[in-house]
Structure 1
Amino acid sequence: MSRPCSRVCLALGAMLLLLVRAAAQESGSRAAPPAETEVGLDTLSVTATKTAVPAIDALSGTSVVTGAQIDRLQPARLSEVLRDVPGVTMQESRNDPAQAINIRGLQDFGRVNVLIDGARQDFQVSGHGANGVFYLDPELVGGVDITRGPTATIYGSGAIGGVAAFRTRSIDDILAPGDSAGFVQKQGFGTNGQRFVNSSALGARIGTAADLFGQFVFRNTAPYRDGLGTLVPDTGSELGAGLAKLTVRPADGHEIRATALLQRFDFANGGGTGAGARFANAVQADTYTLGYRFTRPDVPLIDLSLDGYATTTRDALTFLRDSPRGLYDRLGTRAGDRLTYDIGTAGFDVHNTARFDTGPVSHALTAGGDAVDDHVRTDDRAGGFGAAFTPSGRRSLAGVFIQDEIRAAPWLRVIGALRYDSYRLAGGAYHADGDRISPKITVGVSPLAGLEIYGTYAEGYRAPTVTETLVQGIHPFPAFTILPNTALRPEVAHSVEGGVNLRADAVLVAEDAVRAKLAVFDNAVDAFIDMQAVGPTYYVPAIPGIPPSLCARRPGRFPCVIPVQSYQYRNITQADLSGVELEGSYDWGRGFVSLAPTHIDGRDRSTRETLLTVPPDRISTSVGLRFLAERLTVGTRLTLVDARTGLPAGAARRIAKAYGLVDLFATYDIDSRLKADFIVQNAFDKRYRPYLDAFASPGLVAKAALSLAFATR
């Protein structure tokens, strides 16, 4: 029996055994609660306007991924979840658990504001991968709220691509209303590198006065094999994480929240391509938040939130051995030498929503402000390249905004907003600052019940980062120069978006529901910052370790035979990004189907060359059926990704082939306390490499998990 067939048969055999058991117990078992609907667009979202509305009603490209959807997929990485969200892709290096989010072709350096429980994640290390990543294990995530485009800049400065807000798990994820205490114990196993995952969550409610929640996660993975059976080295890691939450309600309407999230990742790799010097990595990613909220129905003028946070991501690298070229050894680096990237982010967000009427017009007037400080510290005693390409420095961002959501008639909504942003940047003797006012206007018209058409114009502002401005050094090999640019200007995004929201119930049968969002957008980014070749061509040594200065006397003669140019972050005239995205679902009680196609085009206006961060076209669709009084759900997910070609000549190595993936999944509520999940990913064992990723992704992976829940009233 072949390796792929044996794994599929094992997984399907386990599913069959559960089906037989379910049929035998059907008449005598206690019924479990009905399965959660797959219509995630009905879930509340706040990223579009800071006021909670169902995602289907948001006048923007807004999507929500629920905890039930995450559990069903048993993801080891968040990329396995977000491929179902239109307009969203992720770039990752499989030998590092960190990931980067791309929204509508924009990523890196804070263009997408990534939040964990409201805390910004601004970690960034320059290399051959993404310039802006975050660490978060999917087992800690209770839901994801995403708004695409600069319409979401009220959630923080710089978010010209959009906002991705991750909510960690909380007491409501393990206790039903009326339960006072309980726990959920989950253990999962898998093939092809997915060794073991454990999640232990427990919580207690002290009446209505307080909640206490805690979770511990351990995950162990090993190097996997791709679809051709080739072992991909250094793709294993180990995680230990702890999450604690305390919520106190001292009086009616008042709520104080505190969260501590600590994650420790251990892994070893040879850089973003696997061909560099090998380091052992110990990543400590900690997030602390403290918040207060006051809201009461009888006080409509006050809906106040105050939140502060601190995030620290520290990557301590220990040099293990050099690359085959021996460059680090020639520089005197020895095993055990250390390189540390330490990026701390501290900030706050405060806003209030006042709800009132002026005649027949209803208002939700929100005013607030936020500030964030990023402190980059690089301590490099292992070659010096890290300190050169991720320089130390400090950047502070601050902003205030006002927004009015107007309901002028049952068929007309208008949202108008202004945001003021300012920034300060410092590193060594260099200092810079700037500011700008960005407007937003949205009009939504509902000609028919359940149908709403909207149009938006929004602007966004992103200040240069420490690295973009101050990076300076010699690339290891070939030895070209990377230059700083203290003349960088902030980016300004001008976005036009039109969309249609569709909500319909009881279309074919009494219990069905149709939800769909269609959006067409055009985002023009002035002064877009990109790495560019600058200056004349010169020659550098073809043999590592030979000083580049030698080639000033021997250009074009051995060993100085590699022609190169220097590189520098520069403002290009304008980047044009446009596209169309659709998110739709149909749930009829006994089953569901979802569809999420995306097309994005992005170019440098002056050269018409494709921007490297623009992902290829993609279609994601899922189909599921429910059986046994909705206690059993089985289904499949299909992902089709087009090839990425037509890139500039210097980026030929980035070209990626088209591919299609098939996943099979099953979730079975054995009884009210015990649940089993199964998934077979890449069921046909295809070899594929997502665009911009350095390595081929895993071949066939089969995973199974059991969750035991217990609660008291």
Structure 2
Amino acid sequence: MPSSRALSSCRSGLVAGVSLLSVAAAQAQTVPTPPASTTAVSLDTLTVTSTKTEEPAIDALSGTSVVTREQIRRLQPSRLSEVLRDVPGVTTQENQNDPAQAINIRGLQDFGRVNVLVDGARQNFQTSGHSANGVFYLDPELVGGVDITRGPTATIYGSGAIGGVVSFRTRSIDDILRPDETAGAVQKWSFGTNGQKFLNSTALGARIGTGADVFGQFVYRDNAPYRDGLGNLVRDTGNELTSGLAKFNIRPAEGHEISGTALIQDFDFTNNGTSNAGARFNNAVQADTYTLGYRFARPDVALVDFNAKGYYSTTHNNLTFLNDTASGLYGNLGVRAGNRINYDIETTGFDVYNTARFDTWALSHALTIGGDAVFDRVRTTDIAGGFGSAFTPSGERTLAGAFIQDEVRYATWLRVVGALRYDHYDLSGGTYRSSGDRVSPKITVGVSPIPGVEFYGTYAEGYRAPSITETLVQGIHPFPAFNILPNPNLRPEIAHNVEGGVNIKYNDVLKAGDTFRAKANIFNNNVDNFINISAVGPTYFVPAIAGIPASICAARPGRFPCVIPVRSFQYLNVSQAELSGVELEGAYDWGGGFVSLAATHTEGRDKSTRQTLLTVPPDRISATLGLRFLENSLTVGTRLTFVDSRLNVPSGATILATKGYSLVDLFASYTVNDRIRADFILQNAFDKRYTQYLNLLPSPGLTAKAAISIKFATR
């Protein structure tokens, strides 16, 4: 287990590490394009989340990372959290008896602070409880890659993303067919232990000349409840998924492309509350995403690189009450088996922009102008106690914006990115309504004093409108029965982020053909009007017995059964929250193997109370070592994860303090030929019992998974 002292010095260690890496690489030859055989260095993969213009992640002047399909295949994840823990600055929060997950970037999460996209469509589903307030449903077997930019530096990527942007690309025809193949299919089966029962994935596609292609995928996953590292069964952690994905691309003429996506996911699981002690519901979740896009881009038309996309995302959760043996609260309120709660959120949106490339004197420009809008509609119906409709209220919200950005290059050593974004929001529900707008600037300067090394500095602002729940939530907590009050006067959050970093890329460092990439950055993000739930008003007494109306305590304060002192709660604007930290990501591939490292140190506090923000994760270091044998057909390796403790949790918080822990995974991949591949992974190899910070249930113990993929293709 890593010591607290070792991990608490992560900031200075990261800075020193980057300095040593820079010195070690200074004598190497820089090569703009990495070798085609390099597959472990994901920083060479293209990203668009930083500026909407394609560039390798290593060249992005921001905290940008990419997760490739090869990394996902190697890890065989059952949840995306298993992949994202290798990304610096990114953690997740999960209720283990629900396959949904929330993403935390640099200590910020919930209510849209992290903009989560699936094929460009925003995922804005949210229900309130003792877990995350803003989750999404997406099975990792459907994912072809992940593109992440941390912090409010992606000014042009939509309203609210003061924490960052995480863009998931679902699988496509290029994930199963080589450029010279016209049609084919990939069939995958996976089996495992400790609840990982069975996975079937069938993907197929065809290219119709050069003018069109189609792709489809079917996924079925069956998971059972797992056991933690002590062998204890964690109840209600199984789930069943049936999903389908369809895509098409049509190219009617040179430079023109029309694309569409339809993703349907049906999850079925039983949920016994966030701590396995609440009311028990069966959940039937349908999460669908539909997109339709158009792009025109041709090398001979430099002033036009036009993109337009419209999308529709909907998440429907139908909960059927089963029982409440823990407290009997729901039964005392007259709720009976079969009563239902329905949560529905529909998100409709569009994103339109054009990038014009031109030169003025010695300056090269990439000028991007565009706009976007998002329309959220939340509908909650509740005949099972009324708590669902109280804490996830119905309402509507519109987010709209316009932006302009200019990426300017001078020679090979100077880059400047300047941008402005205008945001407007309008929110309504019942008798309440609020609105607001703002202009947010961004300026980034990148300087490359020597080939292979580029330093950058950024100042960027972000704007997040209050969510429907934060504004309109109103009701009585089940037990103890305190009030939660609405706040129609909430002001939007405004982030002010200062960030600096260095990108390092060299080839032929220690031997011919090797590749070294590294990114490091330090940031300070001050969020004005930060929204947090807080105790308000005087102390009053409520019943100590679940199901007794709180109204009886008006005449019996302090006398049995009215003996629990409480205060009401309300979402309020904190004067300012401050988050700061340092992140490091690096990889070295020498052909016969690869090694990668990611490290994160984040601090965050409410500047008025000096109290640490609850959502700030502990320090984390992860490393992966892989070796290739048999002419690169066999890869074996290990992944190590070290997480510090988080003990300074405010009293009364539902989130638990967690101890530090270390994890070891072992993996192997064997390519029999260009048609057959086998993968094996042993997760938590030493059967460690641990609970990830922000989660209330322990994570799985020792788990083994094996998969075989068979490909059929024609040329």
Smaller-chain TM-score bracket: over 0.9
CA contact under 8 A between 2:217 and 2:246: conserved in structure 1? yes
Q: 1:174 aligns with which of 153, 173, 176?
A: 176
Structure 2 match to 1:43: 45
Amino acid at match of 1:273: S
d(CA) in 2 for partners of 1:300, 1:36: 31
Q: Secondary structure at the match of 1:51?
A: coil
Amino acid at match of 1:605: K
Q: Secondary structure at the match of 2:221?
A: strand
Correspondence 1:277 to 2:279: yes
CA contact under 8 A between 1:539 and 1:551: conserved in structure 2? yes
| Aligned residue pairs, count | 681
Q: 1:150 aligns with which of 141, 149, 152?
A: 152
Q: Secondary structure at the match of 1:452?
A: strand
Structure 2 match to 1:30: none
Are residues 317 and 35 of structure 1, via their aligned partners in 2, closer, same or farther at CA, if it must alter by over 3 Å? farther
Q: 1:304 aligns with which of 306, 311, 317?
A: 306
CA contact under 8 A between 2:155 and 2:420: conserved in structure 1? no
Cα offset, 1:69, TM superposition? 0.3
Cα offset, 1:511, TM superposition? 1.2
Gaps of 5+ in 2: 1-34
CA contact under 8 A between 1:34 and 1:630: conserved in structure 2? no
Equivalent residue runs for 1:524-673 within 5 Å: 524-651=526-653, 654-673=656-675
CA contact under 8 A between 2:434 and 2:489: conserved in structure 1? no
CA contact under 8 A between 2:155 and 2:442: conserved in structure 1? no
Are residues 34 and 190 of structure 1, via their aligned partners in 2, closer, same or farther at CA, if it must alter by over 3 Å? farther
d(CA) in 2 for partners of 1:404, 1:301: 13
Correspondence 1:388 to 2:404: no
Cα offset, 1:98, TM superposition? 0.2
Amino acid at match of 2:306: L
d(CA) in 2 for partners of 1:512, 1:533: 57
Runs of 4+ in 1 over 4 A off after TM superposition: 33-36
Q: 1:94 aligns with which of 93, 96, 100?
A: 96
Structure 2 match to 1:23: none
Cα offset, 1:35, TM superposition? 6.3
Q: 1:701 aligns with which of 700, 703, 706?
A: 703
Structure 1 match to 2:140: 138
Q: Secondary structure at the match of 1:550?
A: helix
CA contact under 8 A between 1:577 and 1:603: conserved in structure 2? yes
d(CA) in 2 for partners of 1:392, 1:563: 30
Equivalent residue runs for 1:54-203 within 5 Å: 54-203=56-205
d(CA) in 1 for partners of 2:265, 2:315: 10
Cα offset, 1:36, TM superposition? 5.3
Equivalent residue runs for 1:256-295 within 5 Å: 256-295=258-297
CA contact under 8 A between 2:38 and 2:591: conserved in structure 1? no
Correspondence 1:449 to 2:477: no
Cα offset, 1:558, TM superposition? 1.2
CA contact under 8 A between 1:35 and 1:630: conserved in structure 2? no
Cα offset, 1:512, TM superposition? 0.7
d(CA) in 2 for partners of 1:635, 1:288: 38
Amino acid at match of 2:597: L
Amino-acid identity (%) = 72
Amino acid at match of 2:582: V
Cα offset, 1:430, TM superposition? 1.2
d(CA) in 1 for partners of 2:572, 2:622: 36
Q: In the TM superposition, what whole-angstrom CA distance separates every residue of 1:639-698 from its partner, at most 9, and x where no partner exists?
A: 000000222222385201101000000000011110000000000000000001010000
Q: In the TM superposition, what whole-angstrom CA distance separates every residue of 1:376-403 from its partner, at most 9, and x where no partner exists?
A: 0001011100000000000000000000
CA contact under 8 A between 2:38 and 2:589: conserved in structure 1? no
Structure 2 match to 1:402: 404
Structure 1 match to 2:232: 230
Q: Secondary structure at the match of 1:342?
A: strand
d(CA) in 2 for partners of 1:553, 1:408: 76
Q: 1:367 aligns with which of 358, 369, 373?
A: 369
Cα offset, 1:544, TM superposition? 0.7
Q: Secondary structure at the match of 1:151?
A: coil
Cα offset, 1:34, TM superposition? 8.7
Equivalent residue runs for 1:675-690 within 5 Å: 675-690=677-692
Structure 1 match to 2:413: 411
d(CA) in 1 for partners of 2:607, 2:217: 49
Amino acid at match of 2:433: H
Correspondence 1:345 to 2:347: yes
CA contact under 8 A between 1:79 and 1:89: conserved in structure 2? yes
CA contact under 8 A between 1:35 and 1:631: conserved in structure 2? no
CA contact under 8 A between 2:639 and 2:664: conserved in structure 1? yes
Cα offset, 1:330, TM superposition? 1.2
Structure 2 match to 1:6: none
Q: In the TM superposition, what whole-angstrom CA distance separates every residue of 1:220-266 from its partner, at most 9, and x where no partner exists?
A: 00000000000000000000000000100000000000100000000
CA contact under 8 A between 1:378 and 1:390: conserved in structure 2? yes
d(CA) in 2 for partners of 1:534, 1:551: 19
Q: In the TM superposition, what whole-angstrom CA distance separates every residue of 1:68-121 from its partner, at most 9, and x where no partner exists?
A: 000000000000000000000000011000000000000000000000000000
Correspondence 1:422 to 2:424: yes
Amino acid at match of 2:84: L
Structure 1 match to 2:473: 471
38-47 or 543-552, larger mean C-alpha shift: 543-552
CA contact under 8 A between 2:112 and 2:134: conserved in structure 1? yes
Structure 2 match to 1:12: none
Q: Secondary structure at the match of 2:545?
A: coil
Cα offset, 1:324, TM superposition? 2.1
d(CA) in 2 for partners of 1:252, 1:545: 68
648-657 or 472-481, larger mean C-alpha shift: 648-657
d(CA) in 1 for partners of 2:705, 2:327: 39
CA RMSD of aligned residues (A): 1.0
CA contact under 8 A between 2:272 and 2:280: conserved in structure 1? yes
Q: Secondary structure at the match of 1:486?
A: coil
Amino acid at match of 1:91: Q
Q: Secondary structure at the match of 1:336?
A: coil
Cα offset, 1:551, TM superposition? 1.3
d(CA) in 2 for partners of 1:94, 1:51: 37
Cα offset, 1:323, TM superposition? 3.8
Are residues 231 and 138 of structure 1, via their aligned partners in 2, closer, same or farther at CA, if it must alter by over 3 Å? same
CA contact under 8 A between 1:34 and 1:629: conserved in structure 2? no
Structure 2 match to 1:7: none
CA contact under 8 A between 2:404 and 2:420: conserved in structure 1? yes
Q: Secondary structure at the match of 2:156?
A: helix
